């Protein structure tokens, strides 16, 4: 997904789109490194090496499914896959 274009100011400043700031967990004062790769693309990374925020915070969803299944795990896997790996 592309972000909208941004304009470079006369001072050489550009706004980093909100979607990118959020995905990289950038806050005011975050130190950034700009590099250019072999293809000529600009690569932006945090100076401190903090990895980007994951797209889904699994801690919020673990255990939240309300599945009522009274069969075995093998039976459930067969149901959702449409076949069985078990050579019975």
Structure tokens at 10: 């006369």
In this predicted model, what pLDDT tens digit does every residue of 15-60 receive, in sequence order?
999 888 888 889 999 999 999 999 999 888 899 887 766 666 677 7
The closest of 24, 59, 27, 58 to 44, measured between CA atoms, is 24
The tokens of 72 are what? 């075995």
Global pTM exceeds 0.85 = no
**Integer Cα distance of 15 and 9 in angstroms:** 9
| In the block, residue with structure tokens 């939240």 | 64
Query: Which of 3-7, 19-23, 52-56, 71-75 is the least confident region?
Result: 52-56
């Amino acid at each position: 997904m592309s972000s909208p274009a941004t304009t470079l100011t006369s001072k050489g400043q550009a706004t980093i789109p909100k979607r990118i700031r959020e995905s990289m967990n950038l806050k005011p004062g975050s130190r950034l490194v700009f590099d250019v790769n072999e293809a000529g693309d600009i690569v932006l990374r945090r100076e401190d090496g903090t990895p980007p925020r994951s797209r889904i915070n699994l801690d919020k969803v673990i255990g939240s499914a309300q599945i009522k299944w009274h069969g075995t795990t093998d039976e459930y896997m067969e149901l959702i896959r449409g076949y069985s790996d078990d050579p019975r």
